[in-house]
Amino acid sequence: MTEEEINLHLREIINTMNEGMLLVRPDGSIMMVNDALSRITGYSREELMDRPCSILGCDVCRKSRAEGRAHWCRLFDTKRETLKSCHLTRKDGTLTHVLKNAAILHDSQGRAIGAVETVTDINELDRRDLKIRELSRILDAEEGFHGLIGRSPAMRRVYEILERAAQSEAPVIIVGESGTGKELAARAIHELGPRKDGPFVQINCAAFNEALLESEIFGHVKGAFTGAYRHRTGRFEEAGGGDVFLDEVGDVPLPIQVKLLRVLETKSFERVGDNRPLSLDARVITATNQNLPELVAAKRFREDFFYRINVLPIHLPPLRERREDIPLLVEHFIRRLNRTTGRQVAGPTPEALDRLARHPWPGNVRELKSALEYAFVVCDRSHIGPEHLPHQIGQPAPACPGEPLAAPPSGDEKTALLEALRQTGGNKSAAARLLGVTRLTVQNRMRKFGLDMRKVVTAE
């Protein structure tokens, strides 16, 4: 093929590229674009031809134009830009993340006759990276109900409500003390719902001041405020087609509550510093460890916003209200620690498990996990004993409200246990009430003394 034939088919050749490409005249007007650029930006070729290249709203190009010395664009001074991460503004106003290469074109006399730019759409890579992070966290919590561990009646009710809530598009609010698993519950809703193939985007509302939180949620355009040197895609925009999780929503400042209320009612929002409305294509899930009705009464939380997010409330019970799940949680965390460290710790002794079961756990499951991680490090035997537990847990703790302390182990302990089991026909809960201990303590003592329930009940 001759050079003349190549030039004849140049447009067809360029249109086979997956990367977007445009040629720009020395005055900044667009003289040529390929099909891929139209696909990436949403503009047709006719809408771009002879228009200034600034129509694409590239945040890096804005900086290049501002920093041009002898020319209107820095590119004419640097001659080449390679793998610049930037955002273009599509025709519909949304931002798209691209990698850009650019170079100046010269004639035979060395005079600049224009510039060529290629852009690679990396939004799919961003989405895949987000999905990989999500899957990693899901695999890390591979057991139970989407990472939530427990078989108690309270947790089974939670699972049922989560499954039902997942099928609705109505706002969900997850209420529970710190460490009860609110993020896992939100992820379960996402994984069980129709948006499971979309992104799950989380925002910790307590981690930002008012200005940063607004930018984090809605995004901003370059120059919207001091320090806004480039476009920023907000979390609402990133969550398109999926779910957005506003954690610690009780800490959202009142002015932003007003804007969030408007978003929930209109399904549209604007970036900070911009007046073009963008559509919200994400379900909103919120969570809090605070008493929102009390905050409403104290004028620290908007009543209208509260009613708007409180459509489907889900309460996660504290660990002290589902103590029967503690052995299961302990087994889960020990198994995970064994897997990640390569050690083989069998688990806690009956005495250690009894103390774990009786601790009030103000930090809930998170505190239990931390306590076991500590014990796992200091344990030098095959079982975790009371001496390996953190000090506040390893010491004898007060009994549960309304429950007397269990008697210390003694020579009469086995006899008392046998008598209680026989009197109650093997009913462990009834035996525990006779002995003044928990049902879990009865189970631990049976294991300790190697008691077989069938032999106990049938013994004369």
Q: State pLDDT tens for residues 109-136.
A: 888 888 899 999 888 777 776 666 555 5
pLDDT, tens digit, 9 for 90 and up, residues 218-230: 988 776 666 666 7
Sequence spans of domains, the chain: 3-121, 125-317, 321-395, 398-460
Which residues have C-beta within 8 Å of that of residue 205, sequence separation ≥ 6? Answer: 213, 246, 247, 248, 249, 251, 252
**CATH number given to 398-460:** 1.10.10
pLDDT, tens digit, 9 for 90 and up, residues 292-326: 999 999 999 999 999 999 999 999 999 999 999 99
CA 356 to chain centroid: 29
Label the pairing between strands 30-33 and 20-24: antiparallel
| Number of other CB atoms surrounding residue 313 within 10 Å | 15
Instruction: Please indicate whether residue 380 or residue 457 has the higher confidence score (pLDDT).
Output: 380
What pLDDT score was predicted for residue 391? 85
What pLDDT score was predicted for residue 403? 40
What pLDDT score was predicted for residue 443? 76
In this structure, the chain runs to a length of: 460
**Per-residue DSSP letters for 106-151?**
E-TTS-EEEEEEEEEE-HHHHHHHHHHHHHHHHHHT-STBTTB---
Q: Is the separation of the CB atoms in 403 and 323 below 8 Å?
A: no
Q: What percent of the chain has pLDDT over 70?
A: 83
**Pick from 165, 206, 163, 158: nearest CA to 182:** 158
What pLDDT score was predicted for residue 419? 77
Q: How far apart are CA 198 and CA 239, in angstroms?
A: 8
Q: Most confidently modeled of 51-60, 266-275, 301-310?
A: 301-310
| Number of other CB atoms surrounding residue 70 within 10 Å | 6
Pick one of 3.40.50.300, 3.10.620.30, 2.60.15.10, 3.40.710.10 as the CATH number of 125-317.
3.40.50.300
Q: What percent of the chain has pLDDT over 90?
A: 45
Cα pseudo-dihedral 237, 238, 242, 248, rounded to 10: -90
What pLDDT score was predicted for residue 453? 66
What pLDDT score was predicted for residue 3? 56
Q: Which superfamily does CATH assign the domain made up of 3-121 to? A: PAS domain (3.30.450.20)
Give the DSSP letter of residue 438: -
Q: Does domain 321-395 have CATH number 1.10.8.60?
A: yes
What pLDDT score was predicted for residue 399? 42
Identify the band that residue 148 occupies on the pLDDT scale cut at 50, 70 and 90.
very high
Strand order across the 20-24 sheet: 30-33, 20-24, 112-121, 95-106, 80-89
Checking if the pLDDT of 41 tops 90, the result is yes
Checking if the pLDDT of 412 tops 90, the result is no
Q: Cα dist. 81→105, 131, 298, 417 in Å? A: 13, 30, 55, 80
